[in-house]
Structure 1
Amino acid sequence: MSMQFNKWLFWNVLAISVFASWYLLPNHGLWMDIDKSIFYYFNNKIGSSEAWVNAVAIANNRAFDGVALLAMGVVYYSFYRGASEERKRQLLIVGFIMLLTAVGLNQLGRALPVERPSPTLTFDNVYRLTELAGFKTKDASGDSFPGDHGLMLMIFTAFVWRFLSWKAGLWGCLFVVLFSAPRVMAGAHWWSDIYVGGLAVACFGMAWLMHTGFYDVLIEKCDRYLPRFHRQKS
């Protein structure tokens, strides 16, 4: 196993520092000021624009989650389609491991000793998308920390940056911002749910799985023991 100690240490320190700066400070310190400012900025826009209500409500409909999945799939497939057969096999294995990682780290996030209702359930006299929009949408969560959408997108970003290219990684970073924003704009998540909670879990998990050599060994084992399917030549 190839241990990348400096990277492992950096991402662990970042994860612990970010989480501690939020968890240990009274009322979450500066993070709460940022959270409140961002929430009220978008909540006031919801109360002043019907077009904004519809746009944000659409982006928070469950069906819209498919847009994020499609975007990630397009990036991944763009590298897969032109690859050699051996590289395609590796990318399929990496994709499978990425899904397992997403499930595992999401459970790790749920295990954190934090139960935090979304801002729409915390503050009184605020605008609610579910009351203003004429169709089903989401604007609240009883336990919003860490932000699961942001966490999934960050895991995708880490994988494609490592196993595809830095350009794919930049697309992943863009997806984190774009596709986690609707939950924040609706008040279903605090900003820090994503950029503190999601980031801390992603950095901690990726440090241990990616920079200890664990993934390299796992990919090698999967490649060795999983069956190979060869196309029949016509």
Structure 2
Amino acid sequence: MLILKGISMSFRQLPAILLLNIFGIGLFLSWYLPENHGFWYPIDSTIFYYFNAHLADNSGFLKLVAITNNRAFDGVSLLAMGILFLHFFLKQDATGKRRMIIMGVVMLLTAVILNQSGRLFPIERPSPTLTFSGINRVSELTGIPTKDASRDSFPGDHGLMLMIFAGFMLRYFTRWSFCIAVVYVVVFSLPRIMIGSHWFTDIYVGALSMVCIVLSWWLLTPACDAVIDGINRLIPGKHRPVK
């Protein structure tokens, strides 16, 4: 019965899955195939130079960029995601809380696996700060330990993990939680773009195309549910499912 239900769900979601795959593949190829990345390169370089110019003439902006790109600040994005997840967790009974904990673990594993898979791309792309000369480097201007460069910035790993969280919010919770998660993507990935450790397209082409292709098959089919439910049945405990 569960198998038939899963097959039925897959057929219902097939148009959405195919559209997301077409969009994701098209988005990636629009960047990958043209010489020097086609129309994306002017967008990337314009965004980088806009923010980079402000680093030297605005001390407040410089300090903001330095602080928000310090490794310790990553805890703020984790806290924001945790609070949103906790909002739904507290509304669950004991059985629901158990399943949400397992869901959180599966979401984390999904992020780790997808992030590592991104390293398999046959693309080695240094960040803008390592591509252009005569530019401002935040670490040199402030002395604050911060990530202002990357030898392989594509796809954007930080943005990728934020997008995965947004995907899980849409699949398992509410549309408003998805909207909040999308705000998280923009707000918490922006510092990486402002400092020049990532190109705009590292996040909104690289990470987004991966999420559209992979998560569509993972979340819009019974695959993720099957893993969550399978782990739920395997782990002993008072509220473990009977079947």
- Length-normalised TM-score, structure 1: 0.95
Aligned residues: 230
The percentage of aligned residue pairs carrying the same residue is 49
What's the offset of the Cα at 1:99? 0.6
Q: 1:213 aligns with which of 222, 228, 236?
A: 222
Match of 2:153?
A: 144
Determine if the alignment matches structure 1 residue 177 to structure 2 residue 192: no
Query: How many Å separate the matches in 2 of 1:202 and 1:133?
Result: 35
Residues 108, 201 of structure 1: 8 Å contact kept: no
Query: C-alpha offsets along residues 79-130 of structure 1, whole Å, 9 cap, x if unaligned?
Result: 1012112211221111111011001100111111110000010001001101
Whichever residue aligns with residue 44 of structure 2, its letter is D
Match of 1:27?
A: 36
- Length-normalised TM-score, structure 2: 0.92
Q: CA RMSD in A?
A: 1.1
Greater displacement, 186-195 / 219-228: 219-228
Match of 2:107?
A: 98
Determine if the alignment matches structure 1 residue 14 to structure 2 residue 60: no
Unaligned runs of 5+ in 1: none
Query: How many Å separate the matches in 1 of 2:96 and 2:230?
Result: 15
Query: C-alpha offsets along residues 148-185 of structure 1, whole Å, 9 cap, x if unaligned?
Result: 00000000000011112111111110000000000100
**SS, match of residue 38 in structure 2:** helix
Query: How many Å separate the matches in 1 of 2:168 and 2:236?
Result: 23
What's the offset of the Cα at 1:219? 2.1
Query: C-alpha offsets along residues 188-213 of structure 1, whole Å, 9 cap, x if unaligned?
Result: 00000000001011111101211222
Unaligned runs of 5+ in 2: 1-5
Determine if the alignment matches structure 1 residue 81 to structure 2 residue 100: no
Query: C-alpha offsets along residues 120-145 of structure 1, whole Å, 9 cap, x if unaligned?
Result: 10001001101101321111000000
Query: How many Å separate the matches in 2 of 1:123 and 1:224?
Result: 53
Q: 1:225 aligns with which of 222, 225, 234?
A: 234
Residues 118, 188 of structure 1: 8 Å contact kept: yes
